[in-house]
Amino acid sequence: MIFVTLGSQKFQFNRLLEAVDNLVAEGRITEEVYAQIGYSNYEPQHFVFKQFLDREEFSKMTERADIVITHGGTGAIIGAVKKGKKVIALPRLAQYGEHVDDHQLQILKQFDGMGIILACYDLNDLAELYKKIQHIEMTPYQSNTVKIIDSIEKFLSREFDKHE
């Protein structure tokens, strides 16, 4: 199952919904799709959607999903990858009235560069990325907290070894 989530900020992301709807209509996506569309006013014709989900519904849909398609918000991305989901993320862009600026481009470049997600910078690439993500392994997400604790433990063990 594919879970499309567009967050809860007061911006539409109609471009993404239309692209996924078209891929389903064309038979390029054949698995079940469910979307939380937020403030978007485009209503998909080829998959089930709800404007907003409560925390429990959101968690259940994320758990059911194999793939999460989302906007470039850190919360949506981290929430999905922490649950071991494959993520395709697209940046909301100011030129389409999807956000006030293009900061999601930088967010996606970081996550994409780490191999944690597949970033889609051009909606024309969505079908190809959807095919690709089904056959690749993504790098598991490791929080900075874990990395910091590991670094401290390594440092302390070296210091301890020096004093023995």
Beta strands in the chain (DSSP E): 2-5, 33-36, 48-50, 67-71, 86-90, 118-119
pTM of the full structure: 0.85
Residue with tokens 């191999």: 115
Determine the length of the chain: 164
Q: Identify the band that residue 8 occupies on the pLDDT scale cut at 50, 70 and 90.
A: confident
Distance between CA atoms of residues 135 and 70, nearest Å: 19
Q: What is the pLDDT of residue 146?
A: 62
**The predicted structure's pLDDT at residue 158:** 64
- The CATH number that applies at residue 71 is 3.40.50.2000
| DSSP code string of 23-46 | HHHTTS--S-EEEE-TT-----SS
Give the pLDDT score at 148: 59
Range of the domain at 93: 2-162
159 has pLDDT over 60 = no
Predicted pLDDT of residue 124: 95
Question: pLDDT of 94-148, one tens digit each?
Answer: 888 888 888 899 989 989 988 999 999 999 999 999 999 999 998 887 776 666 5
- pLDDT the model gives residue 147: 62
**Looking at the 3D structure of the chain, how many domains does it have?**
1
pLDDT tens by residue, 64-87: 999 999 999 888 999 999 999 999
